[in-house]
Chain A
Amino acid sequence: MEAQYVYIGLAALFGLFMAWGIGANDVANAMATSVGSKALTIRQAILVAAVFEFLGAVLAGGAVTSTIRKGIVDADLLAGSPDLLVYGMLAALLAAGTWLFVASRNGWPVSTTHSIVGAIVGFAAVGIGVDAVKWGKVGTIVMSWVVSPVTAGFIAFLIYLSVQRLILSQPDPLARAKRFVPVYIFLAAFAMTLVTILKGLKHVGLEISVKDSYFLAIVIALGIALLGAFFINRIESDPKADKKQHFYTVERVFGVLMVVTACSMAFAHGSNDVANAIGPVAAVIGIATTGTITAKSSLSPWVLLLGGGGIVIGLATYGRHVIATVGKKITQLTPSRGFAAELAAATTIVIASGTGIPISTTHTLVGAVLGVGMARGIEAIDLRVVAKILVSWVVTIPAGAFLAILFFFVFRAVLP
């Protein structure tokens, strides 16, 4: 009886630690693009992040949470000794949290998702046995890490190409932007709402038919697009600034769009990455309260609150500085470019989240940025850093695994 409180307490603590880390570092990547392009102030960015990360986690994060919770480790093998899974999940959380902390301190480009998946695979393979890992599922996840940035890059490439064709290379870019940007807003809002309704609302107990889902998504997206059009029409051109930079007012129109894609990005990030922190917590709680692994317990609301809350605390304590620094450094990502990258990344992430595959949101965003670059849209991309990101993959997975194995044996020896 006593032990289960210890487990739950530790799981909550480690989960909070990891959620804090995600809020402090990872969210910056989702939000800094908007701050950098001056579409949002830092204060607004934090507010948007807090609200939409949370919504994303609750409405669309369920599938990923369940993959992290029970998709990687074959729980049937552990039916006789549920405590091993508890130690393992605790170890994985602490390992991923620690690795993220160390890595972000040193500025290494690591992914939250890679860390936690590496950690879970590590403790399961070494601590329990190679057969305990569902290698097929792990294979799918690892494949998705290649596929998702490439997909996002391709979508971003197409979006930015369309922006150049329809707006930027035209003789009257401002009039064109005012006409087409509401269409992009509609598309962004439609993609997000549709995936949420199709994949997310089931988890909160709402069932809507596919036909109704499409209808509802179209109505909501139209509403958002009209609201956007209203704000766009209020934008007055500034002839003096336009003379210096012909696209000054045009970019301000794209700024409105960027607010929508920033919300989408925060939502997508919440749907994918919050699960990395709360998945293991949910697994530990499930076992600790029922005593068995197989029992199908639902996700307790306070676990979601823990994940969402941790991220907001991370944002408030540390994330705002990261957002400010990153925002200052990515001035090349003007609203017209930034929205293409964000929209492509957010769509890819939300679709992946819907199918329960944990992908790296930051790597997907990097892929999307490269896609804009391929459309000759970005002035300079440092390929050395892109190479470093690729290398970090190879390091993060064994590092997370090694730490998880270490903590696993410590917990098994120390905990009751």
Chain B
Amino acid sequence: MANMLANIFGSSPVQPLEKHVDIAFRCAKKLKPFFTAVVEEDWDRALEIRAEIEALEHEADNVKKEIRLHMPKSLFMPVPREDLLELLLVQDKIANRTRDVSGVIVGRRMRIPPPLAEKFLEFVNRNIDAAKQARKSVRELDELFTAGFKGAEVALVSDLIEELDRIETQTDEQQTILRSALFEIEKTLDPIDAMFLYEAITLTGEIADMAERVGRRLELLLSQ
């Protein structure tokens, strides 16, 4: 028994998008205990968390596929379908970068040189903060839809995105400091290890980059 009134409502992409960004954030958050374990060289623990990260990344992928399947071209929405799909894509990359960086580190059993450890953990935490702020912003989506992307709600989300930009800028600064600190000691390290440390820093920093791009995508939705 189908019903015409029930069926004209396509499945709303809003709740699934909020769910997806939540998974992406929870995935990124795992980097905190992960890097702590790496600094302490507790590889059992690190591998355990790495498995959790992979599971979350996988879950995010599934939700992403589900959303795409339920967003046919025939859907009539207040915002362009392409913009929502782009938003989904950058949200997903938060989880992807988390998986990548944890993969490189456990794959090579990389050690964080003690002089870098503290700065590195701070840098990781700030990247997680960026992902958290991205989640907070995306969670306003259903309110934005209700208010028709107008008025007070738009101002609220703009503020959230501004804060997100500030966090991202801080991660950039931290990254520069971390890189020069690494540069100072790189001669004392195995060259390949040093190369991969640079790589790990880049990948971690991309989490905040992706979070910032989530903000950019939301801004595009607001500006219509």
| Known A245-B142, A382-B74, A384-B74: A366·B8 in contact at CB below 8 Å | yes
Q: In the complex, how many angstroms separate the beta carbon of B222 from the nearest chain A beta carbon? A: 12
A377 partner, pick from B14, B148, B151, B152, beta carbons under 8 A: B148
B10 at the interface (CB under 8 A from A): yes
**Binary flags per residue of A358-399, CB closer than 8 Å to B gives 1, else 0:** 000010011001100101111111111110110010000000
For this complex, 13 residue pairs linking A to B, each with C-beta atoms less than 8 Å apart, are A32-B5, A32-B6, A168-B150, A168-B151, A246-B153, A325-B1, A333-B9, A334-B146, A379-B78, A380-B9, A380-B10, A384-B72, A388-B4
> Which A325-362 residues have C-beta < 8 A from chain B?
325-326, 329-330, 332-334, 336, 362
Cβ–Cβ contact B5 & A164, under 8 A: no
A104 on the B face (CB < 8 A): yes
Residue from A29, A245, A378 within 8 A of B143 (CB atoms): A245
Question: How many chain-A residues does the 8 Å CB contact rule pick out?
Answer: 49
> Is the CB–CB distance between B10 and A107 below 8 Å?
no
Q: Is the CB of B1 within 8 A of A107?
A: yes
Q: Which of B4, B8, B12, B147 contacts A168 (CB 8 A)?
A: B147
Cβ–Cβ < 8 Å partners of A325 in chain B: 1, 3, 6
Residue among A105, A171, A332, A392 making CB contact with B12, cutoff 8 Å: A332
Residue of B5, B7, B9, B71 near A378 (CB, 8 A) is B9
Q: Is the CB of B77 within 8 A of A380?
A: yes
Q: How many A-B residue pairs have CB under 8 A?
A: 133
A245 to B15, CA, bound (A): 12
Interface presence of B13 (CB below 8 A): yes
Q: Quick check: B78 and A378 within 8 Å, CB to CB? A: yes
B75 at the binding interface (Cβ < 8 Å): yes
Indicate the member of B3, B10, B12, B142 with the most A CB atoms within 10 Å: B3
Known A169-B150, A169-B151: A376·B5 in contact at CB below 8 Å = no
**Interface membership of A309, Cβ < 8 A:** no
Which A146-176 residues have a C-beta within 8 angstroms of B?
A: 164-165, 168-171, 173
Contact of B146 among A168, A365, A383 (CB under 8 A): A168
Rounded to whole Å, the gap between the CB of B218 and the closest CB of chain A is 16
A354–B206 CA distance with the chains assembled, in angstroms: 65
> Would you list the 3 A-B pairs with minimal beta carbon distance, nearest first?
A169-B151, A107-B2, A109-B4
Please name all residues of chain A whose beta carbon is closer than 8 Å to the beta carbon of B183 when the two chains form the complex: none
Name the distance in Å between B157's Cβ and chain A's nearest Cβ: 11
Given contacts A379-B145, A381-B10, 13 further A-B contacts (CB under 8 A): A109-B7, A164-B151, A170-B152, A173-B152, A322-B3, A330-B9, A369-B8, A380-B75, A381-B77, A382-B9, A382-B72, A383-B74, A383-B75
Q: Report which residue of B5, B6, B11, B143 has the largest number of chain A beta carbons within 10 angstroms of its beta carbon.
A: B5
Chain B residue, CB-CB nearest to A318: B1
A247 located at the interface, meaning its Cβ lies under 8 Å from any Cβ of chain B in the complex: yes
Q: Does A90 contact B (CB under 8 A)?
A: no
Contact between A322 and B1, CB atoms less than 8 A apart? yes
Residue of B nearest to A334 (CB): B146
A28 contacts chain B at the CB level, 8 A cutoff: yes
How far is B142's CA from A164's CA once the two chains are assembled, in angstroms? 14
Across the two chains, which residue of chain A brings its CB closest to B150?
A169
Asked if B76 is at the interface of the complex by the 8 Å CB criterion, the answer is: yes
Closest Cβ–Cβ distance, residue A23 to chain B (whole Å): 14
Of B6, B12, B14, most buried by chain A (CB within 10 Å of CB) is: B6
Residues of A within 8 A of B147 (CB): 164, 168-169, 247
The CA-CA distance from A392 to B7 in the complex, in Å, is: 14
B35 touches A (CB below 8 Å): no
B123 in contact (CB, < 8 A): no
B149 contacts the other chain (CB 8 A): yes
How far does the alpha carbon of A169 sit from the alpha carbon of B71 in the complex, in Å? 27
| Cβ of B224 to closest chain A Cβ, rounded Å | 9
Among B4, B11, B12, B149, the residue within 8 A (CB) of A362 is: B4
B68-89 contacts to A (CB < 8 Å): 71-72, 74-78
Assembled-state Cα–Cα distance A169/B149 (Å): 8
CB within 8 Å of A: which B116-170 residues: 142-143, 145-154
Pick from A107, A336, A379 the residue with the most CB of B within 10 Å: A379
Docked pose: A389 CA to B3 CA in angstroms: 11
Please name the residue on chain A nearest to B7 by beta carbon.
Answer: A385
| Contact, CB under 8 Å: B1 / A380 | no
In angstroms, Cα B1 to Cα A329, docked, is 13
Give the docked Cα–Cα distance between A35 and B21 (Å): 30
Per-residue CB contact flags for chain A residues 92-134 toward chain B (1 = under 8 Å, else 0) read 0000000000001101010000000000000000000000000
Interchain CA distance A116-B221 in the complex, whole Å: 46
Chain A positions within 8 Å of B9 at CB level: 329-330, 332-333, 378, 380-382
Report the minimum CB–CB distance from B142 to chain A (whole Å): 7
Residues of chain A with a CB closer than 8 A to B154's CB: 169
Contact present for B6 and A389 (CB under 8 Å):
no
CA distance A148 to B151 in the complex (A): 32
Contact of A330 (CB < 8 Å), options: B6, B78, B145, B149: B6
Which residues of B lie under 8 Å from residue A392 when comparing CB positions? 4
Asked if B150 contacts A377 (CB within 8 A), the reply is: no
A284 to chain B, nearest CB (A): 30
Closest partner residue, chain A, to B4 (CB atom): A109
Q: What is the CB-to-nearest-CB distance from A394 to chain B, in angstroms, rounded to a whole number?
A: 15
Residue of A nearest to B75 (CB): A380
A29 to B2, alpha carbons, bound, how many Å?
12
Contact B10 A164 (CB under 8 A): no
Find out whether the CB atom of A29 lies under 8 angstroms from the CB atom of B152.
no
Bound Cα distance from A379 to B10, whole angstroms = 8
| Residue contact A326 to B74, C-beta cutoff 8 Å | no
Interface membership of chain A positions 29-41, coded 1 if the CB is closer than 8 angstroms to chain B and 0 otherwise:
1001100000000
CA A280 to CA B3, docked complex, whole Å: 26
On chain A, the residues within 8 Å of B76 by CB distance are 373, 380-383
